[in-house]
Structure 1
Amino acid sequence: MTPTLPQEILTEVMKHVGENDLMTLQRSILVCRHWCRAIVPLLWRKPFHHTHRNTAGKRKLIPVYLACLKEEEKKYLTANDFPIPNSKPPLFNYITYLQWLNDFYVLDAISTWSRKNRKRRLLSQLLVNKFITECPKLRSLHIHTLQQYRESDILSKITLYHTTLEVLHVKEITRFVSETENDLIVGLVNLIKSQRALKEVVLAGVLNGIDKLVLSLRAKHSRSLKKIKFEDCDFRVKGEIWDLVSGSFVNLELLNFYGCYGLNTSTLKMWTKGLKAQIHIDFSTVELSAT
């Protein structure tokens, strides 16, 4: 029988079911093949988030993604003492449907599936890189430890393949001043500038270069940003860059400083000056220096 609705329209209709109503979506894929092709991408938008507290779900998730790997990738893992179980080719390329990527959740799912394998971080980095290069609609990206991707040039890959991120969380960015850390800051600045309209940004562990990151946010996303959070960042920077921040983030709804130092009341006034929205600032662990 000829489908009554084009697949694209059916997909748009099913989006209104709700991201967390997985049961309804799972039942809907059984209606027919047409519905299945339209709904499967919705079910696989954020699987690591849906299974993060579900041990059984995490154990089922990783084998599906392993089946999607190319033969050379499977051989690479096997050669590095990470055996891949035999499996049938998947009906869909589930990797391409991911829209929410959190590398900590990926590693957690792998650890649950294969607790005894010490090479699980190797698989995690391979999958994260594969998601970045093969997911065309990535909207939210959480990098828990940027330091571990220094050799894979992950920031350049994100900049190359994605320009429509809405949420960007990057942690453990710099630990000390060196050429490597400076390269990470430059790469992150380029990544921020390459995006069209970021809505939420979390930057954590910036001990060098916070001024460059702030100015890149101001240059490209002063109107789109709704939430900004800084964790464990050093704001002791030279120059009067905070004057440029004044009144820049016109639609900001949440500004959060957590565990930062080098701040003073004058700097904070620059952040909030001229803003129409009410800003919540968490002072619980902020060390305010003298004005």
Structure 2
Amino acid sequence: MAACLPSDCLLNIFSYFEGDARSLHSFLLTNRNWCLSVVPLLWRRTFYITSHSNFSSKKRSKLVVTYLTCLDEKIIPFSSTSTASHKPRLPTFDYATFLRGFDFYDVYHAVGNWYAFQTPERRRKISFDRFHDMSDDECRKLFITRELMKQFIRSSPIIDYLALDAEQSLPPQCWSLSNFSDNHNSLKYIRTFVCRGNANKQEVYAALSQWCQNIEFLSIHGIGKDDPSGESLSNLIKVQRQLREFVLWNGTRDQLPQIIRALAFRGEKLKSLEFRFCDFSKSTPLETLANSCAGLKTFKLIRCGEIHSNLSESCLTPVFLDLINLDLQGTYISSESLDVIFKWSNINLRSLHVESTGGRFRIPKILESIASHCLNITYLKVRTKKDKLSQLATLLRSCRNLHSLKIYGSPPDRLFFFVQDTDDELLLSLRQTIPINLKTLVLKTDCAFTSLAIDAFLKDCGTELKHFEYVSYGSVWQHLNVMKKYAKRRGLEIEKQIAGNYKELLMRELGYIIMEFGKIS
């Protein structure tokens, strides 16, 4: 019956195996009808599959050979890809027409695998452009990479994924979009665009602004020194009618104001925003984005330092109502602004990573604020100090859906020995409040616990932990014995255990314990 299914049905079924090259290859050997349905799917993401799966360099080399047979013999002589006695057999299909996306680095890496199998005689027969301060071998590999990219864009009717490496160490002639200006029709279908590197990128932004208006995912790793105000990238953002996800690394203080305004302009469809190592000292992203990005579900500000905001409790306009994931790792926002965000996104917020100490902002009641507003949260990661953990019981009583709780901070100092008993009391006060759904618990801040306290905590804990980390006091072997007893009582097996002591002489009683448990099969 399967052999009689129409091609549309077969293609829909085979699409579930798009990332499984071996299964797809076995399907195409079934019969001619299956082969015709599988081949376009198997060759859609060839470079991604071979780069991120367990493929040998020889198989990646064969992939390049297949594409090279379709190139002009004047560029890549047949003698460089086969024996000199005969020309290689032309492929059954024009495989380049099936390709729907590629990454410059993946293509270059595959070409490098192919080039390593070529004899010196074959290498010398390959045409190439000479690039400054590069060896002939490197020039040949870059030249072939560029010619293959031209072939893909010229042959494929649709390129929906494109990633470029705009590195200063690479000649612009190899990756610049100006190479494709004569055959750019397929590029107007780009849905995902990634541009890495720190080279000049204005030409890239200008070309894409002209060709593409429906990019859905845009990731920029460094805006480029030739765009000091971010104007070119802002123009690219403004013309995208379907932009849903945006990622930016290393934005400067002068570039970010225009970028933020452009994102606000296209905010109606944005679902995810991520900024890493960006300097917001000349902009206020929270106010600009809060109202314009009403449907935002993921907001990440990673290692962005202090961010000024005028959001306060007097704010009556809803902000970030649909927010599900908020990540502020290494970023500091005032407690007033956080309270406003928690207040309006409370129903939907599920995942939160927040810093309560650092910078000029201190958040004295961060856990209580989360407990008051974010009742449905399932994942919480907080960097804080021991003096804030008195709020932890309130958090655990309110957030009964917690699946993962991770609390990090500075390790105990040398004065720890005089206050150690209070830490055991803190842990024991939590044992009756642990949510039944909690599976991951990490307590690695400036407090430590004895094996007796850990044993009592685990006996009265109402859930089965799968991952448990903490700072230990006393012999780590006693702590490991407690863990073995816990696993035996619960019918669990220890899948991973890491234990050790701090090396400083005055902290020799302090250690660290990392345990992972699983069901006995």
Q: Shorter chain as normaliser: what TM range?
A: 0.7 to 0.9
Please tell me whether residue 251 in structure 1 is matched to residue 295 in structure 2.
no
- The percent identity for this pair of structures is 18
Kindly tell me: are residues 59 and 290 of structure 1, through their superposed partners in 2, closer, same or farther at Cα, counting changes over 3 Å? Answer: same
1:214 to 234, 238, 258: 234
Equivalent position amino acid for 1:250 in 2: E
Please tell me whether residue 90 in structure 1 is matched to residue 91 in structure 2.
yes
TM-fit CA distance, 1:101: 0.7
Larger deviation, residues 134-143 vs 212-221:
212-221
Kindly tell me: are residues 73 and 245 of structure 1, through their superposed partners in 2, closer, same or farther at Cα, counting changes over 3 Å? Answer: same
1:127 to 148, 160, 165: 148
In the other structure, the counterpart of 1:38 is: 37
Larger deviation, residues 60-69 vs 107-116:
107-116
- Compare the two structures and name the one with the higher strand fraction: 2
Larger deviation, residues 228-237 vs 259-268:
259-268
1:281 to 291, 295, 300: 300
TM-fit CA distance, 1:155: 5.6
TM-score (norm 2): 0.47
Larger deviation, residues 120-129 vs 145-154:
145-154
Equivalences for residues 14-163 of structure 1 within 5 A: 14-53=13-52, 54-56=55-57, 57-75=59-77, 83-86=80-83, 87-115=88-116, 118=137, 119-145=140-166, 148-150=171-173, 153-154=178-179, 156-157=181-182, 159-163=184-188
Instruction: Tell me the distance in 2 between the aligned counterparts of 1:25 and 1:109.
Output: 21
Q: What are the superposed Cα offsets for residues 44-70 of structure 1, whole Å, 9 maximum, x if unpaired? A: 001111111422431321111122223
Q: What are the superposed Cα offsets for residues 96-118 of structure 1, whole Å, 9 maximum, x if unpaired? A: 11112101001111112323761
TM-fit CA distance, 1:216: 2.6
Q: What are the superposed Cα offsets for residues 122-174 of structure 1, whole Å, 9 maximum, x if unpaired? A: 21111112112211121100011276344762363574442111101112364
TM-fit CA distance, 1:272: 4.1
Kindly tell me: are residues 41 and 246 of structure 1, through their superposed partners in 2, closer, same or farther at Cα, counting changes over 3 Å? Answer: closer
Larger deviation, residues 97-106 vs 269-278:
269-278
Larger deviation, residues 18-27 vs 260-269:
260-269
Kindly tell me: are residues 113 and 244 of structure 1, through their superposed partners in 2, closer, same or farther at Cα, counting changes over 3 Å? Answer: closer
Does the 8 Å CA contact 1:264/1:289 hold for their aligned counterparts?
no
3-state SS of 1:110 partner: helix
3-state SS of 2:292 partner: coil
Please tell me whether residue 166 in structure 1 is matched to residue 191 in structure 2.
yes
Instruction: Tell me the distance in 1 between the aligned counterparts of 2:13 and 2:246.
Output: 32
TM-score (norm 1): 0.79
Q: Which one has more relative contact order, counting CA pairs under 8 Å at least 6 apart?
A: 1
TM-fit CA distance, 1:268: 4.9
Kindly tell me: are residues 31 and 255 of structure 1, through their superposed partners in 2, closer, same or farther at Cα, counting changes over 3 Å? Answer: same
TM-fit CA distance, 1:43: 0.5
Q: Please, which runs of 5 or more residues in structure 1 have no aligned partner?
A: 175-180
Instruction: Tell me the distance in 2 between the aligned counterparts of 1:39 and 1:70.
Output: 27
In the other structure, the counterpart of 2:215 is: 198
CA RMSD of aligned residues (A): 3.1
Does the 8 Å CA contact 1:193/1:220 hold for their aligned counterparts?
no
Does the 8 Å CA contact 1:247/1:271 hold for their aligned counterparts?
no
Equivalent position amino acid for 1:123 in 2: I
Kindly tell me: are residues 239 and 99 of structure 1, through their superposed partners in 2, closer, same or farther at Cα, counting changes over 3 Å? Answer: closer
Q: Rg larger in 1 or in 2?
A: 2
Does the 8 Å CA contact 2:208/2:236 hold for their aligned counterparts?
no
Q: What are the superposed Cα offsets for residues 237-288 of structure 1, whole Å, 9 maximum, x if unpaired? A: 598775454353222222122233465451453244432223322322x355
Kindly tell me: are residues 245 and 90 of structure 1, through their superposed partners in 2, closer, same or farther at Cα, counting changes over 3 Å? Answer: closer
Larger deviation, residues 258-267 vs 18-27:
258-267
3-state SS of 1:131 partner: helix
Kindly tell me: are residues 70 and 11 of structure 1, through their superposed partners in 2, closer, same or farther at Cα, counting changes over 3 Å? Answer: farther
Instruction: Tell me the distance in 2 between the aligned counterparts of 1:90 and 1:41.
Output: 14
